[in-house]
Structure 1
Amino acid sequence: MNAYVTSTIENGIGTIEFFHPQSNSMPSSQLKNLVDEINKLSQNDDTKVIILKSAGEKAFCAGASFDELISIKDFETGKTFFSGFANVINAMRKSPKLIIARIHGKAVGGGVGIACAADYTFATENASVKLSELAVGIGPFVIGPVVEKKIGTSSFAQLAINATEFYSAEWAREKNMYQDVYETPEEMDAEIQILAEKLANSNPEAMSQLKEIFWKGTEHWDNLLVERAGISGNLVLSDFTVNAINQFKHK
């Protein structure tokens, strides 16, 4: 199957689904399409609440596309690529709609950022998390602010420093990255539907103002996350990072 990002609206519930054949990784085109769909549903009065999910049965999102990372040869290209993740996070936080994330499998790097940028996150027991950026010589600079906001500085540091280790879904729930964890996707989907239907029948203005409160203090992130993208865009050019990514690709 080819990569895609699609969206639908039914009974006030907007659903965005993304897919990429390489473990739902994120090349630039996929990031742009995801931003476009988030903005489209956010601006549609028929949408009362948004569910964000990925397709497939394995990883929720493997983060940045290694194929694209290894092709970056100059700073501006690197900054532009990492700004794609900044744009997704900023679109999610600025949406006037509450966003529910459905994390059915492993979340790595940018996938953790997406999970943390949602307003309410459901997961299965298979949804372990890892910030692998430092292991390839970069560091989770762009997604760092949203992960730190959701789980706190100490837990963010633990993930960022121990960059080769997966942490369980239960760990993520204990740190408030996930609000609820279920044994099976079916159990999770049933609970997501119940909450989404409740929110679809709630006061849109109240939910919008509540979301503003949730994200108060992040107004500078439009600039901050792009600045952070520049840090990653510079580091991705180093020999260390190029060699590390090539090693990962050939495992």
Structure 2
Amino acid sequence: MTEAYVKQHIENNIATIEFFHPEQNSLPGEILGKLAATIEAAGKNDEIKIIILKSGGDRTFCAGASFGELISINDAATGKVFFSGFANVINAMRKCPKFIIGRIQGKTVGGGVGIAAAADYCMASKFASIKLSELNVGIGPFVVSPAIERKIGVSGMSQIAIDANTFYDANWAKDKGLYANVFESIEELDQATLAMATHLCTYNPEAMMEMKKIFWRGCDNWDELLEERAAISGRLVLSDFTKETLKRFK
């Protein structure tokens, strides 16, 4: 696979939404926009009862935002738009009236951790370690931290945000509440994910919709909150510190 994509497959009332980018599933703005729109449309499709969200390939789930786009930012407005990409995906997941099962097959970094945290139920392989690397480049996980904090608490979120060099393994993430289950292989993960989705399709869709509202209570301000957080990152990416750091990473 060499071309980035977002695609959806519907079978037996289960929508599988898959995203892919050849650079370790790092996501540029265009793909993030398509992903948010696909999730929003799935939420309105009466044929769909449950959504599985996954990435292509058998290694990295998501390496975060596109580094190529990050280093090209030259003004605050562009920076805000760039960092709003993951905000829009998280908010689409939050507002979607259907349960979203996250299928995390491999390592996930930065914005990818935010996507995993925004899933209503997350299942992972033992290879699905997580890292928030943003402080390494002079910014911070401002946009994704509300979703992560909601799942693993301020203590867990601050630990991985501050220790920006370290991958935390899948069992750590499970113990903190990010993952519901961790499996020994991707094959076992896929079997369990499909079994869970199939079982959830036997539930009352209206009951699940009402439960999702309860799960996300207190988050009604996230459209504005994540926009404000995107503006912070958009400003910080223009700092001399961050520009010099990005040159070294490049």
State whether TM-score is above 0.5: yes
SS of 2:218's partner is: coil
Q: Which residue of 2 aligns with 1:167?
A: 168
C-alpha deviation, 1:195, in angstroms: 0.7
Aligned-residue Cα RMSD (Å) equals 0.7
- Other-structure match for 1:149: 150
Q: String of CA shifts for 1:90-127, please: whole Å, max 9, x gaps.
A: 00011000000000000000000000000000001100
Aligned to 1:11: 12
Contiguous gaps of at least 5 residues in structure 2: none
2:183 matched to which residue of 1?
A: 182
What is the CA–CA distance in structure 1 between the aligned matches of 2:219 and 2:120, rounded to whole Å? 14
Question: Which residue matches 2:225?
Answer: 224
**What SS does the aligned partner of 1:42 have?**
helix
Tell me the CA shift for residue 201 of structure 1: 1.9
- What residue ranges of structure 1 are gaps of 5+ in the alignment? none
Q: Structure 1-normalised TM-score?
A: 0.98
Q: CA deviation at 1:246?
A: 2.6
Runs of 4+ in 1 over 3 A off after TM superposition: none
Q: Distance in 1 between matches of 2:41 and 2:159?
A: 36
Deviation at 1:164, TM superposition (A): 0.8
The match for 1:209 is 210
Q: Are 2:65 and 1:64 equivalent residues in the alignment?
A: yes
1:102 partner SS: strand
Displacement of 1:59 in angstroms is 0.5
Alpha-carbon distance in structure 2 between the residues aligned to 1:27 and 1:209: 33
Instruction: Report how far residue 58 of structure 1 moved.
Output: 1.4
Corresponding residue for residue 131 of structure 1? 132
Distance in 2 (CA, whole Å) between partners of 1:233 and 1:68 is 12
Say how many residue pairs are matched.
249
Write the letter of the residue equivalent to 1:173.
Answer: K
C-alpha deviations, 1:188-220, integer Å up to 9, x for none?
111111110011121100000000000000000
Task: Name the SS for the 2:238 alignment partner.
Answer: coil
- In structure 2, the partner of 1:38 is 39
TM value normalised by structure 2 = 0.98
> How far, CA to CA, are the matches of 2:23 and 2:105 in structure 1?
16
CA distance in 2 between partners of 1:186 and 1:149 (Å):
29
CA distance in 1, matches of 2:246, 2:27: 15
State the alpha-carbon separation in 2 of the partners of residues 7 and 107 from structure 1: 21
Amino acid at match of 2:6: V
